[in-house]
Amino acid sequence: MLISETMNARLNDQINFEQYSAHTYLGMAVALESMGLRVLADYFFKHAEEEREHAMKMIKYVLDVGGKVTMKAIAEPGGDWSSAENIAKQTLDHELEVTRRINDLVALAEQEKDYATRSFLQWYVDEQVEEVSSAEYLLSLIKAAGPQQMLGVEHRVAQMLG
């Protein structure tokens, strides 16, 4: 195995957290759909798929370096999803937490002189810049529009989804 037992365990934790992220965004998508905000719901359905891809990419890496992948229970997502603004706020908080966790993994890789994992993690470091930036933009858009102008937000998000 090319990685330490500790790194293997931490990567498994992150695989679980990426799956939890997918689960969370799926829940948010369903909540948005029930508010009649179909385009925002689609944005979150897509985001959930991306999180699943983040987990898959890490699963493949652990297998490539001869590690062991363990499937743990995915925690039940929680939070107040009663408005689009709350959902956008929690998305930003969630992505900041993911960033903190990725940075901790990078720090461990450097500490262990595990340069293969350090290199692998760079993709996630770069991805988090995008993820946090998108979450900040979505929150600012929703805040600026206010609850009465959500159709404008839907229109803008539709353009972003292409």
Binding site for ligand FEO (CB under 6 A): 18, 21, 51, 54, 95, 98, 131
Q: How far is the CB of 146 from ligand FEO (least distance, A)?
A: 26
Exposed / middle / buried, residue 100 (Cβ in 10 Å: 0-12, 13-18, 19+): exposed
Secondary structure of 1-37 as H, E, C letters: CCCCHHHHHHHHHHHHHHHHHHHHHHHHHHHHHHCCC
Q: How far is the CB of 121 from ligand FEO (least distance, A)?
A: 12
Amino acid letter, 33: E
Q: Which is nearer to ligand FEO, 131 or 154 (CB)?
A: 131
Q: How far is the CB of 99 from ligand FEO (least distance, A)?
A: 8
Contact of 88 with 41, CB cutoff 8 Å? no
Q: Which is nearer to ligand FEO, 51 or 154 (CB)?
A: 51
Contact of 47 with 39, CB cutoff 8 Å? no
As a whole number of Å, the CA-based R_g of the chain is 17
Q: How far is the CB of 131 from ligand FEO (least distance, A)?
A: 4
Name the closest residue to ligand FEO (Cβ).
54
Q: Which is nearer to ligand FEO, 5 or 130 (CB)?
A: 130
Q: Which is nearer to ligand FEO, 31 or 55 (CB)?
A: 55
